[in-house]
Amino acid sequence: MNILFVGDVVGSAGRRLLLRLLPELRERHDATFVVVNGENVAGGTGITPKIADEFFAHGVDVITLGNHTYRQRAIYPYLDAQERILRPANFLKSQPGHGHCVVERAGVRLGVLNLSGNLFLKAGRPAFSEADAALHALRGKVDHVLVDMHAEATSEKVAMGWHLDGRVTAVVGTHTHVPTADARVLPGGTAYITDVGMTGARGGVIGVKKELAIESLVTQMPIRFEPSEEDPWLMGVVVSATSPLRADGIEQLLVPAPVGFG
């Protein structure tokens, strides 16, 4: 069983690159499941039902989100209606959507859990207790569990990895758009990486046109950000597993756009 997880897809460049590379990556890595973080795909913030449907139609099994979940109002009813798109489980229960789901393929049941960090991000409830509650709800219903920990603080993501080690198949960090070099399998058998990185334009500033990001930092004035199109890369990981809730390995993917992509 292999899980292909693709990090934060940013803007049009990220979306087009994902759809271009997905069939090849799925075949090359014999991916049983594809999970994609799509919280930045609609013009750099949020996701729309149209884009989510496009991802599902191209073979994405589950879409996870994060702090930009509610930036596009059209997604609100969709989050309640579509089981395979997740917002962080530790958002308020009164907010649209749900935080975990189960998908099945080839006789394998994968639970996917989406969490938001509490440090420097606005989440309604604590991530750690919500993770424990979600795992209790999934007990006996799944063979594997993948957790997308969408958080700013590296310490919080590392702590979540240790907290869930041996209880889930993988904990993958998202949100900062910068890939970290610490992919490994923890002693209890949980695959872990602090941040997968982004699928978008590396020629910008974490996906934003660099001129706009620099202007904002230099002038300290409000600037309307736009996604960059320069030098897109796909960033993700492949988690392999043979025994329930135990990973055999985690491979980092840093894939530039093919020649002629535009």
User: What angle, 0 to 180 degrees and rounded to 10, lies between the N-to-C axes of helices 127-138 and 154-164?
Assistant: 30
Helix/strand/coil for 255: strand
Contacts for 79 with CB less than 8 Å, ≥ 6 apart: 69, 85, 87, 96, 97, 98
| Both structure tokens of 144 | 């594997």
Strands (DSSP E) found in 139-258: 144-150, 170-174, 184-185, 191-193, 200-201, 232-240, 249-256
Q: Give residue for tokens 């989510």.
A: 52
Residue type (1 letter), 133: A
- Rounded to whole angstroms, the Cα distance separating 85 from 38 reads 9
* Beta strands 184-185 and 191-193, pairing class: antiparallel
Catalytic residue among 29, 58, 68, 136: 68
| Both structure tokens of 248 | 């055999």
- Rounded to whole angstroms, the Cα distance separating 18 from 234 reads 7
**100 is annotated as an active-site residue:** no
For the annotated catalytic residues, the residue numbers are 68
